[in-house]
Amino acid sequence: MLSLLSRFSRKPTENNALAEDKMAIALTAATNGDYATALSIWEPLARAGNARAQNNIGACFAGGLGVTRDCQLARDWLILSSEAGDPVGQRNLASLLFTGEGIKPDHQRALALYRQAAEQGDGEAQDMLSWMLLEGEIAEPDPAEARRWALAAAQNGSAASMTRLGMLYHNALGVPRDPAEAVRWWRLGANAGDADGQAMLGAAYHLGSGVERDPVAAFAWLLRARKGDSALATPFFDIVHAALDTDQLARAERLAAISLPEASAPLSKVGKP
């Protein structure tokens, strides 16, 4: 699930320097937990038709940030933002309709909104659309299209989509099976902080699939994955642990404690235009 702050952005729909400055001030206030100040800035802008401000107010009502949580009001503000063509508003409305929290769910409309936002370059919508096309419960399964959107999302910094691309190559879904390419994507996802990517990279090191077998590296990545609550680490964790001696366990724990390379966050996650 996305953090609530990732639902906010300062980008105005109009090319208005004053509005942009106000949106930047509001975003800083929201980031610091001062939602009252942020809302006092967003509301007049939203009522004047600023679609991104409308989205931000909708996100506040959806999360109960500075206001009493009200999913009906959240939906109303997000509809305004979405209909004005704002991709973040489209994605957040899709999320509300998909989960059905406090409102009637509408999965098909959610799918359409995710697609609209994805086509405008929203990385989080691209990631969700890729997942839906792969799962095949709401959308007709389409591994090739799922891969296309996962690639777009990965280029926007989505760690989950990097891991999903690894799964596609591992399971030969819409692409030929390629263990080395699977490992390449899992490594990217793992270094970007995705716990499932860390689990799969650990499994690959354990099995020697697509990469030279390395039990110490395997356990280091599985430790990271377990810390991130990835269920994918469970089938491998105890097996790898049992095969290591005391020195190897210590080395793996030291590796797992090293900070990951700082990932480049997509712009929508840090609230910039």
**CATH number reported for the structural domain that contains residue 47 in this entry:** 1.25.40.10
Which of 220, 210, 229 lies closest to 253, judged by CA? 220
The whole-number pLDDT of residue 269 equals 30
115 and 8 belong to one structural domain: yes
Number of domains present in the structure of the chain: 2
- pLDDT tens by residue, 219-258: 999 999 999 999 999 999 999 999 999 999 999 999 999 9
Q: Is residue 210 part of a domain?
A: yes
167 within domain boundaries: no
What pTM was computed for the model?
0.86
Residue 10: what pLDDT? 52
Residues 111, 214, single domain; the answer is no
Residue 234 in domain: yes
| Low pLDDT (below 50) residues in the chain | 1-5, 12-14, 262-273
Report pLDDT for 261: 77
Where a domain ends, among 93, 120, 147?
120
Same domain, 100 and 198: no
| Residue 115 sits in the same domain as residue 209 | no
Structural domain that includes position 10? 4-120
